[in-house]
Structure 1
Amino acid sequence: MSATDRLMILYSGGTIGMQASAQGLVPAAGFDVRLRARLASEPQREVPAWHYRELLPPIDSANMTQRHWLALCDAIVAAVEEDGCDAVLLLHGTDTLAYSAAALSFLLLGLGVPVVLTGAMRPADAPGSDAWDNLFGALDALAQGVAPGVHLYFGGRLLHGARAGKLGSATLEAFAELPRQRHGERVAALPAELDYRRIRRPVNLAVLPLFPGLQAAQLRALLGSGVQGLVLECYGSGTGPSDDTELLEVLREARRRGTVLLAISQCPHGHVAFGVYAAGNALRDAGLVGGDGMTREAALGKLFALLGAGLSADETEYWLVRDLCGECAD
């Protein structure tokens, strides 16, 4: 790890830069003006040399899409390869902050520089805002040296980009790394097809939690909508309704069509281990691949990066069970 010498600050919108309107808080451009004014009021503060870019229009992160992820990825790569920056700080809304951190963890594999995402629960101009603490905390971490890869800084903590989740909607310490067990097999070397230079395209993905009373017809309707990959949030260690033959057949039919079915645990401390229960084995035999201890955000982001790169269902399944950046191995 080396200290940051040339930093790019990317602003995508979010609460950190929002301003009040008659309809409520809305994204606002020109955050660099407020940042420079704040730095001018604290001349003793040391920050790395920085450049600034806004992704326009700034958005409420509740409106985040896969195309925004791809735009963020392109902007980060340009900051490194065209502007010569050795680190990137991305200012982002909190609603989908963990989703973007996870997606970028896989989209930027091999880039070789630290990328830190942060935001705020209250706008920078609001009383008691956490905006400046988070922003300057991230800057301080980068000034001291952060390992290459994607990270999330919030509430005084630097978190793994593919392990973090949002746990609260009111507390200023809203993010944490989820304490899930991980047993994935680490890759010895990153294959070229997963490198950040690989072109990605949007993918039709879905996430569905299992729940008592889920009907085969409901699952069939979802999978019949053109879904290329499904994250199925299972009970406990990867169990589900093993006595519903129609539902299991829906899963088998989808897998035969080439849909990738990724199982993760609903439990905050959970991980998938199909062999523990017969009910888990039934899901595995129906075509599901176990996601070990991946979070929902990591599972969705990884599926997007793999399928979006044009990998086949079989190739995607191969890499899903292998650890690429710490998402499923400690």
Structure 2
Amino acid sequence: MTDIIDEFEGYKPKSIKILSKFGAKTWSKIRIETQVGISEGTILPRNKYAPDGFVEIKLKNGYNIGIFLDETTKIEVLSQEPKMEVKFDPITPPRNKKLPNLVLMGTGGTISSRLDYVTGGVIPAFKPAELYAAVPELSNVCNLETEVVYQIFSENMKPKYWLQLAQSIAKKINTGVEGVLVAHGTDTLSYTSSALAFLLKDLQVPVVCVGSQRSSDRPSSDAAMNLINAASIAGTSDIAEVVVAMLGSSAHDYGFIHRGTRVRKMHSSARHAFRSIDTPPLGMIRENQISMFTSDYQKRSNNQIETTAAKNIEEKVGMVYAYPGMPIDLLDYYLDKNYKGIVIAGTGLGHVPSDLFKSLARAQDAKVPVIMTVQTLWGFTGMDVYENGREIQSYGVIPGQNMLPEVAMTKLAWILGNYSNETEITDLISSNIAGEITLGEPINGYQIYQGVESQIPSQIKNNSNLKQQKSSKKKKK
């Protein structure tokens, strides 16, 4: 049975029966004739979650297609190809004394993954050293040391992992490296970047978090460009804080430099998915040339100050999304489970249903700090405007100003893990520690630098032409 599974990776009984009839199996090069036509290609493993009765082949042009199989199908096996594996042998390139010395710390994620043909998903696979081999252009940018910290998808990140990562980064920085790259899955990249911004103190070099929306073995992957951009930022910029480097436009011709506490993944699949919220990005990188949009960031210095990482982090911090009809026991759950802090993503200017007020009072009595943020993402809490907001504050809820909900969560985890004085905790929550709170929303914070500016004129023109064509067709009718 195992042999059959190995020969027909991911295929189900109906497909296996027809393929076996002609002696075909995965990685067979075939010529297949159906009622639709004739195709030639190599049989790929099939997504085991896909329906039965199909064969998937890779054509000569590199595209994959699925072909329906039935009793009329004819298959000619042309040859048996070796199993396709995307593999990069780790290499150690010669060191160039003129280039900066960087360290790439791998945690997993799509940037260090490959496609699993059988499941149709991506799996952690590449070590950082293999990434270097996959992107040889890095040798023109830096001398790169690699270290595997974790090999997990970002949805499996935990607060204790942020702490361990921060401690590893601080240790590396103090050995004299000129910049740090953190290869990370994009789904929770903004959580990690903000956590590192709070956990690391006295940074003297850039810590650049980087990911990719498509796995490294795909021709359409953004991994190479993002890695090269990140290495350029880590090695040549004057930044000395935690930032995120990802593609900035749908044309994939430049990358943005986002502050680690003001960035969020804003699209589930687009490669230019990351946006700075409530503020423009810190800068742009195009063809290894960095252009900063502001001078308001932490800069490198010649001070021989040791970078340190926090010693603790509080893992029991909950986050709640306010919504109409939310049950009153939702906050009580966290309090019953002895959570030490709660972040609320409130509606509008920072509101929750009044049914929850008793739970807020309970949190206040238990000295559990509650931070209110806004689920609109852009904009500030305004809890003095409406009666609801004023009453919420009377229960000790702390306005989060314009902190993103996930940033408030990582900040609270850092604060509660390292401070115990109630007044000090409240003051730290309301203070701008790592650029997580801005004084106001600039006019260009919401409307521009969203990665589509250069495409807007052509999009408007295309839409106008389409309307004219439709109008013309109607007139002809």
- Asked if these proteins are the same fold (TM beyond 0.5), I'd say yes
Give me the whole-angstrom Cα distance separating, in 1, the residues matched to 2:204 and 2:244: 16
Aligned residue in 2 for 1:256: 365
1:49 to 2:161 alignment: no
Amino acid at match of 2:224: W
1:179 to 270, 275, 278: 278
Measure how far apart 1:302 and its partner are: 0.5
Q: 1:7 to 1:108 in 2, by over 3 A?
A: same
Aligned residue in 1 for 2:258: 159
Aligned residue in 2 for 1:294: 403
Once the two structures are superposed, what CA deviation does each residue of 1:241-274 show, in whole Å capped at 9, x if it has no partner? 34x3xx2121111121121100001112221121
Give me the whole-angstrom Cα distance separating, in 2, the residues matched to 1:35 and 1:5: 15
Give me the whole-angstrom Cα distance separating, in 2, the residues matched to 1:226 and 1:165: 29
Q: TM-score, normalised by structure 2?
A: 0.61
**Partner secondary structure for residue 141 of structure 2:** coil
Give me the whole-angstrom Cα distance separating, in 2, the residues matched to 1:290 and 1:32: 44
Measure how far apart 1:180 and its partner are: 6.5
Q: 1:149 to 1:257 in 2, by over 3 A?
A: same
1:235 to 2:330 alignment: no
Aligned residue in 2 for 1:120: 212
Q: TM-score, normalised by structure 1?
A: 0.87
**Partner secondary structure for residue 16 of structure 1:** helix
Give me the whole-angstrom Cα distance separating, in 1, the residues matched to 2:242 and 2:390: 34
Amino acid at match of 2:159: Q
Q: 1:37 to 1:212 in 2, by over 3 A?
A: closer
Aligned residue in 2 for 1:187: none
Contact residue 61 and residue 97 of structure 1 kept, 8 A: yes
1:217 to 2:326 alignment: no
Measure how far apart 1:29 and its partner are: 4.2
Deviating more after overlay: 203-212 vs 25-34: 25-34
Amino acid at match of 2:135: R
Contact residue 69 and residue 103 of structure 1 kept, 8 A: yes
- Counterparts of 1:182-193 in structure 2 under 5 Å? none
Give me the whole-angstrom Cα distance separating, in 2, the residues matched to 1:260 and 1:196: 26
**Structure 2 spans left out of the alignment, 5+ residues:** 1-97, 248-254, 281-306, 440-477
Aligned residue in 1 for 2:133: 36
Give me the whole-angstrom Cα distance separating, in 1, the residues matched to 2:220 and 2:239: 31
Amino acid at match of 1:287: G
Aligned residue in 2 for 1:9: 104
Q: 1:216 to 1:265 in 2, by over 3 A?
A: same
Once the two structures are superposed, what CA deviation does each residue of 1:71-114 show, in whole Å capped at 9, x if it has no partner? 21111011112x32121011000111011001111001322321
Contact residue 208 and residue 233 of structure 2 kept, 8 A: no
Once the two structures are superposed, what CA deviation does each residue of 1:152-210 show, in whole Å capped at 9, x if it has no partner? 000010101000001011100011111279xxxxxxxxxxxxx9444113420111011
Contact residue 163 and residue 310 of structure 2 kept, 8 A: no
**Partner secondary structure for residue 107 of structure 2:** strand
**Structure 1 spans left out of the alignment, 5+ residues:** 182-194
Aligned residue in 2 for 1:188: none
Deviating more after overlay: 221-230 vs 260-269: 221-230
Q: Percent same amino acid at aligned positions? A: 29
**Partner secondary structure for residue 9 of structure 1:** strand
Which structure: larger Rg?
Answer: 2
Give me the whole-angstrom Cα distance separating, in 2, the residues matched to 1:327 and 1:19: 34
**Partner secondary structure for residue 19 of structure 1:** strand
Contact residue 263 and residue 276 of structure 2 kept, 8 A: yes
Give me the whole-angstrom Cα distance separating, in 2, the residues matched to 1:16 and 1:49: 20
Which has the higher relative contact order, 1 or 2, with Cα contacts under 8 A spaced 6 or more apart?
1
Aligned residue in 1 for 2:124: 27
